[in-house]
């Protein structure tokens, strides 16, 4: 079992994005950390074709799901992709390939050299993304985006109630967290099995896998809590990116603080496979915004 690996869950529509991610892994992975990508079994031939020449170990989503007999594959297949992928990503630990893993998004990419020590301490304890979300919430407040604050609080309250926790509201994302199999195992052994539940049931209750992980860590203390700011700069909204661009913050500046960047897939629909997604009208509007330098 490796101490630390990279892992990404993807689909065929994002194969070009994964190629971009794999290219940056190849460029910046100075320690040769193993990089796993899982996709639906039907998508494996496509990814094998596109990822030739890259150091990527491909897995089927089905192999991950089958590692947990408590999850009904048919029930999982009936869920929307943005929900089912949370379950697959959160079950990767069951394969026994590693103790900790950096859970990457298809639309992220690295922007500087990285090592395992960027994500885990010398004893193998993960640095856990955890703050109060003030960076996002302050930006939302400045633009009157009250729904962002309301959703943040609602999601947190749901999970705090599930674990019987009171106190501060924490954010455990927004993206590319480091997860430890000991934390997932403690959630399984101390909450799910006693209640005869699976992680699928939890996600249907509140679809935010990062909050389930973070609250489980606080509740069961399977590993030491080593709080960290996000490893990747995540642009949730176009106004966030525009604000940074106006301030002269680009990739070079971001690389001083972050290992990588995540843009929304919807902003890069030209990278969809096999062709750019969206209606004719949305494509035209997107290209017009690009010509004007807008997202």
Q: Say which CATH number the domain at 47 has.
A: 3.90.550.10
pTM comes to 0.90
Residue percentage of the chain with pLDDT more than 70: 93
pLDDT of residue 137: 84
φ/ψ region of 263 (left if φ > 0, alpha if ψ in -120 to 50, else beta) reads: beta
In a domain, 287, yes or no: no
In a domain, 129, yes or no: yes
Closest CA to 134 of 229, 2, 246: 229
Domain count, the chain: 1
The low-confidence residues of the chain, meaning pLDDT below 70, are 276-295
In a domain, 239, yes or no: yes
pLDDT of residue 264: 78
Question: What are the C-alpha distances in Å from 5 to residues 27, 58, 278?
Answer: 16, 13, 34
In a domain, 278, yes or no: no
**The domain containing residue 65 runs over which residues?**
2-263
pLDDT of residue 276: 64
In a domain, 215, yes or no: yes
In a domain, 288, yes or no: no
């Amino acid at each position: 079992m490796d101490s630390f690996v990279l892992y990404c869950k993807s689909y065929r529509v994002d194969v070009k994005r994964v190629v971009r991610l794999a290219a940056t892994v190849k460029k910046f992975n100075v320690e040769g950390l193993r990089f796993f990508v899982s996709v639906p079994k039907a998508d494996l031939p496509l990814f094998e074709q596109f990822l030739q020449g890259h150091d990527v170990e491909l897995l089927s989503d089905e192999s991950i799901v089958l590692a947990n007999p408590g999850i009904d594959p048919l029930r999982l297949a009936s869920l929307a992709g943005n929900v089912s992928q949370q379950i697959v990503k959160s079950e990767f630990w069951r394969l026994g390939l590693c103790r900790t893993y950096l859970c990457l998004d298809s639309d992220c990419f690295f922007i500087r050299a990285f090592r395992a020590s960027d994500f885990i301490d010398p004893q193998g304890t993960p640095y856990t993304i955890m703050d109060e979300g003030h960076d996002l919430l302050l930006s939302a407040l400045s633009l009157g985006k009250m729904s962002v604050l309301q959703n943040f609080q609602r999601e947190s309250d749901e999970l705090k109630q599930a674990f019987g926790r009171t106190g501060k509201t924490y954010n455990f994302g927004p993206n590319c967290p480091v997860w430890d199999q000991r934390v997932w195992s403690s959630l399984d052994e101390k909450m799910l099995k006693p209640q005869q539940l699976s992680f699928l049931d939890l996600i249907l209750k509140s679809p935010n896998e990062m909050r389930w992980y973070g609250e489980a860590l606080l509740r069961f203390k399977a590993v030491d809590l080593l709080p960290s700011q996000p490893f990747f700069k995540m642009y949730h909204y176009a106004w966030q990116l525009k604000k940074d661009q106006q301030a002269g913050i680009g990739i070079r500046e971001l690389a001083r603080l972050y290992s990588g960047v995540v843009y929304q897939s919807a902003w890069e629909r030209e990278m969809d496979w096999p062709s750019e997604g969206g209606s004719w009208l949305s494509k035209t509007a997107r290209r017009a915004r690009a010509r004007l330098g807008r997202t």
